[in-house]
Every structure is written in structure tokens, then in C-alpha cells.
Amino acid sequence: MGDEREARQGRQAVLQVIREAHEALSVADIAEQVGLHVNTVRGHLELLVHLGIVSRESEHTGGRGRPRVLYELAPDEPRQQDAYKTLAAALANELTIIGGTDQRTADEAGLLWAQALVEEGRLRATSSSADAVEQVTTLFSELGFDAATEPLSDRIYLRACPYSSIREAFPGVCEIHLGLMRGSLAVTESGLAVNDFDIDARPGLCVAHLGPVTPSA
């Protein structure tokens, strides 16, 4: 867990340097400012580019030799629902390839996804259970669900699933979203977990039952 936290802090530092820069920066520029090895910074940048948060291009100087690769904040962050549908389908497809709907693998993928959302500033640590539930409910609303919670913040209701059209082809998509919800709660460090998840509790409705993290959660 310590290594994961350190990696997140490193990526956040890299992203902060890029956000505050007035021009595109090289790997060496960024490494010098954050105090990390260039290879470590390069790894963080690869993830940020893959997420669409940071863009890169080669510097055009007209001179001889290999041009520098420069990084800057992407003009638009990937917030469109279609992008999430594509990612969810891709992850679900991977589950199918490796042998069906393996929830453990889905949980690992969901945690990585949630960690990426921390990099985007979409999720954050909190000491408030209600705040953590609100963050996750908002996230799933942005994913296209009609998502809601209740005053006790011990359930999240997901209606109008925008992924129903791909469930037949990619049955693992439900496991992916459960993994994302578990991962999202984990990165909030609120002490909450999904204790039970009712898929199609009623037609068009899935219900996540929340509670304190337990050794078996």
C-alpha cells in the first residue's frame, strides 16, 4: 500500500508541475523540479498520456539530432461517457479473454481505474463516510448511470444502466463496475467498502450495500 501511495504522490507531483508550467516541458525538466529519476517520471507521464490528461509532441527545431519530447496539459480531459463505455468494454473483454468474469481481476482493474481518477482530481481522500459516498455516487452519475444514495449513505442505487447494450457481448462489465466502486471507496480512505452488490435487484436497478471495511471485504 505504501508503494502505491508513493506512486500516486509522484504522479500528482508530476501533474502539478505540468499544470503550473507556462510552456511544454521535457522529461528532464520535470524530473528536476519534482526530484525524481527521469525513468520514474517517464513512467508517470506514460500513464498520464494514456489517460488523456497530458499530451506530448516532439519539439521542432530544424536542427540535427533527435528532437526532445515535450509534455503539457491536454486541452480537454476525457470526461465523455463514450470514453468510459469504451474503457469498460475493453476491460470486460480482457476478463472474457482470460477466462470469464473473474471478480478478483475486475477488482484489481477497478482499483487501477480509481487510482487514475485520483490523478484527474475526480476522487480524493476524506475522513467523512458521507463525502466518500457522495464522491462515488457523483462518479457513477458521470459514467451515465442515474445514481443516487440516501441519507444514511449506506447504499448506492444505480438505475438506467447505460451499459446494458454491451452486457450481452461483455458480461464482465458489471464486475468491472463493482470493481470500480470498490476501488473508488478504497482510494477515498474512508473505511467504507461494498459489502454486497445486487445486480438487477429490480428490473433496471442495481444496489450496492455499503459498510465498514472488514478483513473479508
- Cut 0.85: pTM above it: no
Same domain, 91 and 44: no
Same domain, 92 and 191: yes
pLDDT tens-digit readout, 100-135:
557 887 888 788 888 888 887 889 999 999 999 999
Question: What is the model's pLDDT at position 88?
Answer: 60
Domain boundary among 23, 46, 73: 73
Q: Is residue 217 part of a domain?
A: no
Question: What is the model's pLDDT at position 77?
Answer: 47
Question: What is the model's pLDDT at position 96?
Answer: 54
Same domain, 131 and 161: yes
Interatomic CA distance for residues 188 and 209, integer angstroms:
17
Q: Is residue 47 part of a domain?
A: yes
CATH number of the domain enclosing 93? 3.30.1380.20
Closest residue by Cα to residue 24 from 74, 59, 75, 70: 70
What SS3 string covers 22-58? CCCEEHHHHHHHHCCCHHHHHHHHHHHHHHCCEEEEE
Domain boundary among 34, 55, 73: 73
Closest residue by Cα to residue 113 from 103, 104, 123: 123
Same domain, 16 and 102: no
Interatomic CA distance for residues 9 and 119, integer angstroms:
9
C-alpha cell recorded at residue 76: 480537454
Q: Is residue 152 part of a domain?
A: yes
Helix pair angle (2-20, 103-120), 10° resolution: 30
Distance of CA 217 to the CA centre of its chain: 20
Same domain, 200 and 115: yes
State the total domains in the chain: 2
- Which structural domain, as residue segments, surrounds residue 12? 2-73
Where does the chain show beta strands of DSSP type E? 25-26, 54-58, 69-73, 146-149, 155-159, 192-202, 205-212
Question: What is the model's pLDDT at position 6?
Answer: 75
Task: List Cβ neighbours of 169 (8 Å cut-off, separation of 6 or more).
Answer: 89
Interatomic CA distance for residues 8 and 189, integer angstroms:
14
The total number of residues written for the chain in this structure: 217
Distance of CA 13 to the CA centre of its chain: 17
Q: Is residue 90 part of a domain?
A: yes
Alpha-helix residue ranges (DSSP H) falling in 161-215: 164-167, 173-188
pLDDT < 50 regions, the chain = 1-2, 77-81, 217
Same domain, 206 and 103: yes
Interatomic CA distance for residues 180 and 111, integer angstroms:
6
Same domain, 66 and 104: no
Same domain, 206 and 123: yes
